[in-house]
């Protein structure tokens, strides 16, 4: 992730929330917000910027291959580079992306229980994490 803040905190939170919400809308089904958008520090020195993480979950799994194709198109159109991954001999499959709209976004679908998960982390935004947390801006 680029640790140089390039936007305000509100824009960063909105950008990642919008990206994850568009992904869940495109995949369909009943998604629940698990966390966020949650304030966190950018990698590197504390005080050099903030990032937001937003997580949604769907208990019922979709068609994983169709979901991967849908997200590859959606995220590519949003200017993100993507790559598929497989873990645990294929029991977990997913897609990761990063680029202009998010430092990281991922979709995970598991045969091991747990359904499907979308997780996005914003690009670094201007702000001091310690000060913002003390003010209750999480």
Q: Is residue 60 part of a domain?
A: yes
d(CA 102, CA 123): 5
User: Does 2 fall in a domain?
Assistant: no
**What ranges in the chain are assigned the alpha helix state H?**
9-27, 64-77, 129-134
Alpha helix (H) residue ranges in 34-107: 64-77
**pTM of the predicted model, to two decimals?**
0.88
CATH number of 14's domain: 3.30.2030.20
Q: Does the structure show a pLDDT above 60 at 5? A: no
With respect to residue 3, please indicate whether it lies within any of the assigned structural domains: no
Mean pLDDT of 91-96: 91
Distance from C-alpha of 43 to C-alpha of 89, rounded to nearest angstrom: 31
- Encode pLDDT of 53-90 as tens digits: 999 999 888 899 999 999 999 999 999 999 999 987 77
Number of structural domains (the chain) is: 1
CA distances from 71 to 5, 56, 132, 135 (A): 27, 15, 33, 36
What's the domain range around 102?
9-134
Residues 72 and 81: their CA atoms lie apart, in Å, by 9
Has residue 1 been placed in a domain?
no
CA distance 58 to 45: 35
Buried b (16+ CB within 10 A) or exposed e, 14-47: ebbbebbbebbeebeeebeeeebbebbbbeeeee
Residue whose C-alpha is closest to residue 95's, from 82, 110, 80: 82
pLDDT band, residue 3 (cuts 50/70/90): very low
- Assigned domain for 4 exists: no
Q: How do 104-110 and 92-99 pair as beta strands?
A: antiparallel
């Amino acid at each position: 992730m680029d640790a140089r803040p390039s936007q305000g905190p509100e824009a960063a939170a909105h950008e990642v929330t919008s990206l994850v919400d568009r992904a869940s809308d495109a995949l369909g089904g009943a998604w629940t917000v698990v966390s966020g958008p949650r304030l966190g520090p950018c990698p590197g020195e504390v005080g050099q910027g903030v990032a937001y993480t937003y997580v949604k979950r769907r208990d019922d799994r979709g068609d994983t291959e169709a979901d991967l194709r849908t997200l590859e198109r959606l995220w590519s159109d949003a200017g993100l580079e993507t790559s598929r991954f497989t873990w645990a001999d294929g029991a977990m499959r997913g897609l990761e992306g990063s680029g202009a709209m998010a430092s990281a976004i991922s979709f995970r679908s598991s045969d091991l229980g747990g359904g499907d998960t979308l997780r996005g982390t914003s690009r670094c935004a201007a702000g001091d994490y310690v000060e913002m947390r003390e003010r209750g801006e999480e």
